[in-house]
Structure formats: C-alpha cells, structure tokens
Structure 1
Amino acid sequence: MWAAPSVEVVDKSKLPYVYTADELISMFLAAYEREEARGSVAEPAFVKQKRLEIKRIVSSGRAVASVLRRTALAMPFLDRLHPFYRDLMDVVFGAQSYKHAVAKVGNAHLAVRAIAKEAIAAVRTAPDKGAIHAARRMYRGRVVDLLNDLRPELDKLREVVAFLRRLPAVDPNLFTIVVAGAPNVGKSSFVRCVSSARPEVADYPFTTKQIHVGHIRIRGDVVQVVDTPGLLDRPLSERNAIERQAVLALRHLAGAIVFLVDPTPHSGFPLEMQLNLYREISASFQAPLVAVVNKVDIASPAELERARDLFSPIGEVSTLDCRGTGEVVNYVLAKFYVPAALERLRAARRS
C-alpha cells in the first residue's frame, strides 16, 4: 500500500567522506609534526621537550579521534532507515557486517584517546630524554597499528558510501510504478519512454545491475517509476544480490507493478517461465499487478496471440519507438494513482 513512512531515507548530502587507513595515518603524523616548541627561553630543555611532546600527543590524538567519531556518526543508522534502504543494505553488504564496521570505527576514537592518555602519563613521569623518546615511539606505533587494524572496516564504509551515492534517490513517499519482468524484456526501455530516467539499454540480459528511478510530473505532483533488475524464475533464497534488489523494490515501494512480457524468443526466456514469474509476483506482493506485452514490432501474430491468452495484458507496446507506452502509463495512473491521491487528500482534510 502507498503510505508515507515515518522513517528516514538516505540523504546523500550528509554522507561523510570516509578516509582510508593510509590517509588517516598521514593525517595523524602530520598533526603530530605540526606542533612546535614554545615556552620561556629560561625554561630547561628537558621540561620544554616534555611540554612539546604532550602538545603533539594531544593535538594528533584529538584530530584522529574526531575524524573517526564524526565518520561513524554520519553513516546511516540501519534501524532508522526506511525498510527499502535497510533491506537493500543488508542484501548488498550484510546488515551485521555493516553495523560491526560502523561500531568499530566509532569505538576506535575512544581507543585513540586512551592511548593518548597513557602516553601523556608516560611523558610526564619520564625521568630522562630516552624515556620521552620511548613514550613517543609507543604512542605513534600504537595509533598507527590501530588505524591499520581499521583498514577493512574503513574500506567497507567507503564502499557503502560510494554505493549510496550512485543509488538513485528513491522517495518512499511518492506513488511508485515498479517495472518488473524477466531479463531483457525491455524494462529499461519502457522506463526511458515514460519518465525522466535514462537507464542503460542493451541487447543482452542483465544490463540493469542496479535500480533506476525516473519521474512523471502530474499537476504539481510526482510519480516515481522504478526500473528493476531482471528477475529469474526461481525461489527468493536462490536469487543473487542483483535480483533481490528488484524484489525489495517490489516489496517496499510499489504502488502498482507493470510486468513486461516478451512474446518473442529474443529475451531468451520462454513464455512459460515468464508466466511462472508473473504468478509468483502476484502471489507474493500486495501491490496491484498488470501485464503488458512488449516487442509488438517484431512479434509474430501467433506469438502475440499466445501472450494474450496467457497474460490478458492491459496493453501492447513497442519500447523501440515507445509506441503504446503512454497509454499504458495513463491506464495505470487512472486506475491506481488517482484513487490513492484522492484518498490522501481526504485523509488530509479529516486531520
């Protein structure tokens, strides 16, 4: 059902820059070296050296700890995200693995502060220059080791941020038409015909590796059109990550589902397989589902007739030249979007 969620969506503008371990090590060492000796000329050299060492520890530790804490806090919190984004992150990266990475990076700022505190204590009690140098080596070595230990988690968070920046902005508040079907049946071309999206289109299966989003503007309102990766006719547990992205879009976003059918042999998937997939979607999702036959420009009369018998389509199109695609979208909007929009207005008036 189409309803506004009370949960968060991913705000790309708030995603952090995640430093690599090497960048953090360079930052740490540069912050350490930036501090210079200050104090009275009459102050003993040993006292001045202690003061300088403590300043270097404080400033470099604070710089690195601040970045680690800020990075962890700026990453999306899975438990607050809309289910679409939450499940998508789980499919692509693993929820527990992601949470572990965020927690380890976030907790590392406390470890840096603890190391700095120990080093400061060692410097203050140092009886000679040799002990100061030993405290320095201990401090720098332990922080560098800690940052190197964070390398896998930092790399994971960098991957997550890069993925989310590439992901189209999906708004769960908008009425959404999800375009589904087997691979290579023309979904990307259909979305390109009817909306603002410009997904990649090619003549081989599995071109769509990620969800693409387009928009249709209707009298000041916006309808979302989502192009999903092609689904194969097998149980959800056996689907790969790309296919499961499509399932998530169907489950969490769909106000209506347009199932594209290819009646020709060109997609490589027979009508029986497409029919099984159509029935699976119909049985598994609450959103209304309509079938649309594509490739009428190349399908034979016999192929079209068989597709009509099996699917009872609401329209027939050619996404090569966008023939009939506008009529299909108008039908879907009139039948499913308009009643939902009217109900939303009535609910707003009642409140």
Structure 2
Amino acid sequence: MRFNTPYVYSPEELKSYFFGVYKSAEAKSPSTEPGLERLRRLEAVRIKKSARGLADALREMAVSMPFVNDLHPFYRELLELGVGIAKYKHALGKIGNAAVAIKSISGEALMALRTAYSKEQIYRIRKAYIARVVDLIEDLAPELETAKSAAAFLRRLPDVDPDLFTVVVAGAPNVGKSSLVGCLSTAKPKVAEYPFTTRQIHVGHIFVRGDRIQVIDTPGLLDRPFDEMNKIELQAVLALRYLAKVVVFLVDPTHYGGFDLSIQINIFNSIKNNFNIPIIIVINKIDLANDDDIKKAEELFGEIRIRISAKTCSGVEELKARILEDYYVPYMLQKLRQIRAAER
C-alpha cells in the first residue's frame, strides 16, 4: 500500500497563503457607491475569500491523511511506532476543527462589518479578524509539525500488500537476511558486512504464473523480550504477527556474525513460542562455515534440510521450491476451496 499524503503547510506557509488570498481579493462595486460602502464591500470579499481558502487548506490536510480505522493492523501499529496514534488523531482533529473555527471567526467579522459606521471601525474589524486568524495558525504549530512528520513517515513506509502470501525472513542481525531476500526475490535491499544494516523492512516478490509471493526482509532481532525491543526490532515483530504465512529463519553457524548460536536459538524459540507460523530453518554462509560449525547448528536446531550461501545464492532455488511446494501451493488450494464453498 502506498500512501498519497497531502502537502502539510508550516505555520509560516499558511500565514503567507492567507495574506496572499486576502490581499489579492477584489470587489466590484458601482462607481457611484459611497466610499464607506465600497470599503465595506471590499473588506467583506477579502474576509470571505481568505477564510474560505484557509479553511479549505486546513480541511484538505486533515481529511486527506489516512484514517486510523481504515488502516490494516500492520500499518496501524507501524503508525503507533513511528508517530503515536493518539498524537496523530489529536493533530488531525485540531487541524480539522481549525477549519470550522475559521468559518466562525469570519462570520463574526462579517456580522460586525454590516453595522460598521466609519472607515476607522472597518479598519479595526479588519485588524481584529487578521489577528485572530494569525493567532489560530500559530496555535496550530505543534499539530502541523506532527502532521508533517506523519505524512513523511507514511510516505516512507514499505509498499506491503497484506492480502498476498508472504514469506518473512527473520533472524539475528548480520546473518545474511538481506542477501537472501535479494537472491530469493526482486528486492535489492542494502547489504553490508556489519550488524543492523536493515533499519526497516524491505519488500520483494517471487512471481508464480501471474501471481505474486511477497518476501519481506526484516531488521535483525536481539535476544530479549518484546517489551524491551526498540522500534527497529518491533517492525520485524509486526511483520511476523500480521503478514507472515511462513517464516524463513536464517542461522549463521560461523563465528563472524557477532551473534553465537546460543543467542540465535533463543531468538528462534521466541518466534516459535509467540507466533503460530510455519518456520523453515535455513543454514546460511556455507561458503564460510566449516563442517563442525554446521554440525553444531544442526544439532542445536534439529533437522535442517536446506543449506545455502546467500552471498552466492547457492541453494536458494531449493529453498524457493520448498516454499512453493510445501506452503504456497497448499495455501492457494485451501483458499480456492474456501472461495468455491462460499459460492455454493
């Protein structure tokens, strides 16, 4: 899902826009109209047009942002992580209410104009109207900043389709997840020889006879409870909780990754115990690991049928075949049966 968020104005931009509309407004009046009435008419037009333009801009910012209740739980919790849902709702609510307040301010100014008996009084009404509008805009500064940050955050979110069959690649940092996703799918995530390269999830696809399988590269997990994880790790947890139909748990048996097997088995057990999802255990870095390293990993994790080198993509076709045959095809057949049953 891609989020087409609106442009969010800063307070200074809103004030500049407001004054621009106000000053450019003109009012046609009969040449014989007295000066006081001509000024009253001009001021009324300026108030109406500037208030309408500002209210429309505020309303557009508020209603064009995604509604929280319309978001898939995966995106909803990402928004909570990145911005805070309560803060997000408050900001949009206040911006939307400001559009209503502008209408009220302009209505009061127009009512006062009708009974103005001198040019000086009209000038005072103009000054009071502009001052109230400027105060309202300046009061919105924190909410506009929140909305701007939220819009930027939403635009950066990965284009995930929660309805697709999804493979989530998980494991400790620096075990080769990004390299594997690059071999397995169309994704080209950043790869480096140090931990925590992946700061957010990346998405690729495997194309199968016109259909797509979604493959997600997740940030590395550390051996600690979920409530102690940072925002980067929690993205991986959200992918596991809401998207995964099968998990590829990648194991690094070597001594080069920085996370020994005791840590990796704890992470694996945490996933296994907290999520009811099929898990394929895959030994990576067979181009670097010696026989003793691989044997120790197999003894610790149990029977492992797939060994790969994500660096060279060796063994990845076997992994892909297993994903398709053991998980994707049965899932699609079950889905097809459900559709046919519902049509009867």
TM-score normalised to structure 2 length: 0.96
The percent of aligned pairs where both chains have the same amino acid is 50
- What are the equivalent positions in structure 2 for 1:25-174 lying under 5 Å apart? 25-174=15-164
Give the CA deviation at 1:281. Answer: 0.1
Q: Which runs of 4+ in 1 moved over 6 A?
A: none
Query: Corresponding residue for 1:200?
Result: 190
Match of 1:18 among 1, 8, 32: 8
SS at match of 1:266: coil
Question: Is contact 2:47–2:110 with CA below 8 Å preserved after alignment?
Answer: yes
- What are the equivalent positions in structure 2 for 1:175-214 lying under 5 Å apart? 175-214=165-204
Cα deviation 1:93-137 (Å, max 9, x = unaligned): 111111111111111101111111111122222221222111111
Query: Corresponding residue for 2:262?
Result: 272
User: Counterparts of 2:18 and 2:291 in 1: how far apart (Å)?
Assistant: 71
2:308 is the alignment partner of 1:336: no
Question: Is contact 2:91–2:147 with CA below 8 Å preserved after alignment?
Answer: yes
Structure 2: segments with no counterpart, 5+ residues: none
SS at match of 1:171: coil
Cα deviation 1:33-70 (Å, max 9, x = unaligned): 11124201110111110111110010010011011112
TM-score normalised to structure 1 length: 0.94
The one-letter amino acid of 2:144's match is L
- What are the equivalent positions in structure 2 for 1:266-305 lying under 5 Å apart? 266-305=256-295
The one-letter amino acid of 1:336's match is Y
Structure 1: segments with no counterpart, 5+ residues: 1-9
SS at match of 2:256: helix
2:309 is the alignment partner of 1:318: yes
Cα deviation 1:266-296 (Å, max 9, x = unaligned): 2211110110010000010111112111111
User: Counterparts of 2:256 and 2:136 in 1: how far apart (Å)?
Assistant: 55
User: Counterparts of 2:168 and 2:119 in 1: how far apart (Å)?
Assistant: 70
User: Counterparts of 1:46 and 1:317 in 2: how far apart (Å)?
Assistant: 86
The one-letter amino acid of 1:28's match is F
Give the CA deviation at 1:11. Answer: 4.3
Give the CA deviation at 1:314. Answer: 3.2
Query: Corresponding residue for 1:6?
Result: none
Question: Is contact 1:314–1:328 with CA below 8 Å preserved after alignment?
Answer: no
Question: Is contact 1:37–1:49 with CA below 8 Å preserved after alignment?
Answer: no
CA RMSD of aligned residues (A): 1.2
Question: Is contact 2:199–2:232 with CA below 8 Å preserved after alignment?
Answer: yes
Question: Is contact 2:82–2:153 with CA below 8 Å preserved after alignment?
Answer: no
SS at match of 1:72: helix
Q: Taking structure 1 as reference, are residues 304 and 35 closer, same or farther at Cα in structure 2, changes over 3 Å only?
A: same
SS at match of 2:66: coil
User: Counterparts of 2:322 and 2:198 in 1: how far apart (Å)?
Assistant: 26
User: Counterparts of 1:140 and 1:336 in 2: how far apart (Å)?
Assistant: 64
Question: Is contact 2:172–2:220 with CA below 8 Å preserved after alignment?
Answer: yes
SS at match of 2:285: coil
The one-letter amino acid of 2:334's match is E
User: Counterparts of 2:255 and 2:10 in 1: how far apart (Å)?
Assistant: 48
Question: Is contact 1:264–1:299 with CA below 8 Å preserved after alignment?
Answer: yes
SS at match of 1:267: coil
The one-letter amino acid of 2:340's match is R
